[in-house]
Amino acid sequence: MEAVAAVLTLRHGLIPPTIGCVESADGLGVDLVTGSPRALPLSGDLVLSNSFGFGGHNAVLALRRGSLGVSVG
């Protein structure tokens, strides 16, 4: 499911908000998206999808927006 959400982020150009986060602690220096989605910067063409499993089975997918000029949908 996380990889699907990452692809949809690239396709729609929107960063979804962090679920359940309404405020962050001051001074952390973390840029959280809260409340509503935020537009993906024009230079934002790469997302990472991390998956962690039991026994050390971990995987990372690096997905980049394509530039073939193909329109989907």
pLDDT of residue 67: 65
pLDDT of residue 68: 54
Q: Is residue 73 part of a domain?
A: no
Give pLDDT tens digits for 14-53: 999 888 887 777 778 888 888 899 998 888 788 889 989 9
Domain of 22, CATH number, reads 3.40.47.10
Interatomic CA distance for residues 2 and 58, integer angstroms? 14
pLDDT of residue 60: 92
Q: How many C-beta neighbours within 10 Å does residue 47 have?
A: 20
How big, in percent rounded to 5, are the helix, strand and coil portions of the chain?
20, 25, 55
Determine which helix (DSSP H) or strand (DSSP E) holds 38, and give its type and residue range. strand 38-39
Interatomic CA distance for residues 67 and 65, integer angstroms? 7
Number of domains present in the structure of the chain? 1
Q: Is residue 41 part of a domain?
A: yes
Contact 15, 33 (CB under 8 A): yes
Q: Is residue 31 part of a domain?
A: yes
pLDDT of residue 33: 87
Domain that holds residue 13: 2-64
